[in-house]
A and B are shown apart, each in its own frame.
Chain A
Amino acid sequence: DQQVKQNSPSLSVQEGRISILNCDYTNSMFDYFLWYKKYPAEGPTFLISISSIKDKNEDGRFTVFLNKSAKHLSLHIVPSQPGDSAVYFCAASRGAGGGADGLTFGKGTHLIIQP
């Protein structure tokens, strides 16, 4: 039951170029979406989030776009740097206004930044 799907297990991008990571979801009850970055032997690190009432959120080199009608979101990293090499997880949450809702994660995309 994959409610959050990341269809690309890996992505290779040249340093300095744009990295675009994609995520699709099926559950219409999701109303908050997050991206996490994970290095081996560490916990996921929160990167950026977006509420379903918005279609774009930007934080420095990271921008998340949400297309609610297509149930699709993407994370853009510009410019890509070697330290961005990691596994990126898309996650979704239900329940507007907060509360202790569990996140539903995708399987992750391994981003490799090549020099």
Chain B
Amino acid sequence: EPEVTQTPSHQVTQMGQEVILRCVPISNHLYFYWYRQILGQKVEFLVSFYNNEISEKSEIFDDQFSVERPDGSNFTLKIRSTKLEDSAMYFCASSDPTSSHEQFFGPGTRLTVL
């Protein structure tokens, strides 16, 4: 069964450093998303991406965040200058055009900012 994959599974970084989280969505999906879950809190929407541009973003997704689809398979989230409060699980998701509400999630990347 096709699935969303994410790398790395765990990323540790120093405050102020840039990180890039990588995702490979399901191959025939056209809509891509990033979410985060801070420990003990709910899953929060960050951004959605379609046709090589941002479709929707939340107030969390400020200028320190950016997304890119550098090739036909990868979808990345870049955090320019990490803060302690960026420590969270980051989930990538994708959906297909015929049932775009049903989003399929990857296993997540645990980001720890020291």
Contact = CB atoms under 8 A, between A and B. Distances in A.
Interface of A: 32, 34, 36, 41-46, 49, 89, 91, 93, 98-108
A99 B55 contact: yes
Nearest to B61: A102
Contact of B108 (A42, A93, A103, A105): A42
B97 A98 contact: yes
Given A43-B91, A100-B48, 20 more contacts: A32-B101, A34-B102, A43-B4, A44-B43, A46-B102, A46-B103, A49-B101, A99-B55, A100-B49, A100-B55, A100-B56, A100-B95, A100-B100, A101-B56, A102-B33, A102-B47, A104-B45, A105-B42, A105-B45, A106-B42
A26 to B, nearest CB: 15
Contacts of A99: 31, 50, 55, 100
A102 B95 CA distance: 11
Contacts of B47: 102
Q: Which label, helix, strand, loop or mixed, suits the secondary structure of the A interface? A: loop
Contacts of B75: none
Nearest to B9: A41
Contacts of A42: 107-108
Interface string B89-112: 001010101011111111110000
A100 B31 contact: yes
A49 B105 CA distance: 15
A103 B100 CA distance: 11
A43 B108 contact: yes
Contacts of A93: 101
A21 B56 CA distance: 30
26 contacts: A34-B102, A34-B103, A36-B105, A42-B107, A43-B93, A43-B106, A43-B108, A45-B105, A46-B102, A49-B102, A89-B43, A91-B43, A99-B31, A100-B48, A100-B49, A101-B48, A102-B33, A103-B33, A103-B35, A103-B43, A103-B103, A105-B42, A105-B43, A107-B41, A107-B42, A108-B42
